[in-house]
């Protein structure tokens, strides 16, 4: 025995999206309102799956619907149905938003890395420099007069060994020996490893 089900009243169908988009392409606001009601839910759902942020999803969905209003005349029925056409726009727009956010984050990281300046304490740097200079002065005073003169002329005034020897009226070998001995004493006094 078969059961026949009778439907009371007409079977409910959704709006004809092709007809609505055609009217929207001519600026029909009522047709756009009905088209909006029919496709806004699927658009928002798709965008939310891509973006995962409810506020951004709503913003992008609104942008997509605005794009549908502006570009309705570009829809070609022979290329497919209206809903997939709108959802393609929505997917592209959502992916663009993700890429844009990623590019902005990458740009911010690069700028932060480039503009990062190490912590610098000018006062500490000056104090440290003064202490080092004072230690060098103290260690220079521990040298013999001839060692101090040789080191000072060569390292602080920029003269060559030959010029130092000529200025001091001393043989070159003697100047080299004095400077070597003086530098060894300076190294030991300053606590510098060899």
Count CA atoms within 13 Å of residue 168 on its CB side.
26
Tell the residue number behind the tokens 């056409």, with chain if given.
Answer: 85
Decide: 15 and 35 in contact? Cβ < 8 Å.
yes
What pLDDT is stored for residue 20 in this prediction?
95
Q: Could you read off the pLDDT of 19-76 as tens digits, one per residue?
A: 999 999 999 999 999 999 999 999 999 999 999 999 999 999 999 999 999 999 999 9
Whether the model clears a pTM of 0.75, i.e. scores above it, the answer is no
């Amino acid at each position: 025995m078969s059961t026949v089900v009778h439907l009371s009243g007409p079977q409910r169908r959704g709006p004809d999206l092709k007809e609505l988009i055609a009217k929207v392409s001519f600026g029909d606001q009522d047709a756009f309102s009905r088209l909006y009601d029919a496709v806004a839910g699927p658009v928002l759902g798709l965008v939310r799956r891509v973006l995962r942020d409810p506020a951004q999803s709503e913003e992008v969905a609104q942008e997509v619907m605005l794009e549908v209003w502006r570009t309705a005349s570009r829809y070609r029925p022979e290329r497919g149905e209206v809903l997939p056409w709108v959802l393609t726009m929505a997917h592209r727009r959502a992916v663009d938003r993700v890429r844009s956010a990623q590019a902005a984050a990458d740009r911010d990281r690069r700028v932060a890395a480039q503009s990062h300046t190490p912590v610098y304490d000018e006062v500490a740097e000056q104090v440290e420099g003064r202490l080092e200079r004072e230690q060098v002065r103290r260690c220079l005073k521990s040298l013999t007069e001839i060692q101090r003169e040789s080191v000072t002329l060569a390292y602080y005034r920029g003269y060559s060994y030959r010029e130092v020897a000529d200025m001091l009226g001393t043989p070159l070998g003697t100047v080299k020996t004095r400077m070597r001995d003086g530098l060894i004493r300076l190294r030991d006094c300053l606590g510098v490893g060899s």
